[in-house]
Structure 1
Amino acid sequence: MTAKTGTHRTTPSTVLVLGATGKTGRRVVARLRDSAAVTVRPASRSGEVRFDWTLPETWEPALAGADALYLVAPDDPSPVREFVRQAEASGVRRFVVLSGHGIEKAGAEFGQGMAAAEAAVQETGAAWTLLRPNNFFQNFDED
């Protein structure tokens, strides 16, 4: 896995986790809940906090009070930049983006949402980390 990190450091107190019921999101939520240092806001289309990339009216309520964000981008890159702009404006000061290994070399048919998320958070004034895993062991032993 490759991780790239922006130069700013912050200690978040409320972390919004997008895709909180997914393969990585549910694990991030569990680990953060084990930490007494942060409050976790799990978000998904049908989760504790409602969030849907296709319904921008769900974005502001999900972002309320969050100062850090675990971002799993949709395949469609079109809503990503606006969402990241809104997240920063609402007070998010730290982004962690789940991306993919070699995304910077991927063609136009693969990873457009991930590439858009990487670019969008790098353009903010916030701290950021890009996670670029090659694969997940769970892909071989789950489902």
Structure 2
Amino acid sequence: MKVKVINKSRHALPEYETLHSAGLDLRANIDAPIVLGSLERMLVPTGLFIELPVGYEAQIRPRSGLAIKFGISLVNSPGTIDADYRGEIKVIVINLSKEPFTITDGERICQMVVAKHERVEWQAVEELALSERGVGGFGHTGVL
């Protein structure tokens, strides 16, 4: 799939790290390091602008290495970039650890997965078909 992109960052375009990777790592595009204190969050620019085809979204997800090693995640995970958004991709990064974390220019701060989606057309009904699960909710299929 071809996706139009404007790269106003100082970095190369995102690439897949391996042949079967689902996500592209996005990099911070900042003039000075950002120090995130414990439980602090910050909107981090990437310098990237994209035009997705209609019927697709870009999901912004945490990087597992940053999460396990440093407690770094995203506040709205996954974030969604809609096909009609044309602004800069910015990422809400949060430090969930007790230690400060420094984000430097060019650091891989998240991953982006492009996915097809469907639009819902609601069909109002009086009842739903029965299923094996039924109304079982949180913790229904496992032990909490």
TM-score (norm 2): 0.24
Q: Which has the higher strand share?
A: 2
Q: Which has the higher helix share?
A: 1
Larger radius of gyration: 2
TM-score (norm 1): 0.24
